[in-house]
């Protein structure tokens, strides 16, 4: 026979169920956090790529503008 009263047994069972729910919730949050971290890494990489492309395009446009100004000055 159990050394706990019926009331204490019920309390412990309810407490264990609540702990199980909290543990499940914590595991879901942990997985969600890792998903968000992976998405952030991907977005940072995309940002870096777009920044590099922007720099390249800016340099090409500056070169075109310089050529156009050169054409206008030599006419």
Count of positions (residues) in the chain: 75
Model confidence band, residue 2 (pLDDT cutoffs 50, 70, 90): low
Q: How far is CA 72 from CA 22, 61, 64, 67, 69, in A?
A: 73, 16, 12, 9, 5
The model's pLDDT over 30-46, given as tens digits with 9 standing for 90+, comes to 999 999 999 999 999 99
What b-and-e string marks burial along 54-65, b requiring 16 or more CB atoms within 10 Å of the CB? Answer: eeeeeeeeeeee
Global pTM? Answer: 0.65
Q: Taking residues 3-28, what's their average pLDDT?
A: 96
Long-range Cβ contacts of 58-67 (<8 Å, 24+ apart): none
Residue 65, pLDDT score: 95
């Amino acid at each position: 026979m159990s050394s706990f009263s019926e009331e204490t047994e019920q309390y412990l069972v309810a407490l264990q169920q609540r702990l199980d729910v909290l543990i499940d919730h914590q595991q879901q949050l942990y997985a969600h956090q890792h998903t968000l971290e992976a998405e952030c890494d991907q977005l940072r990489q995309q940002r870096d790529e777009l920044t590099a492309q922007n720099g390249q395009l800016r340099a090409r446009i500056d070169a075109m503008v310089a050529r156009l100004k050169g054409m206008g000055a030599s006419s």
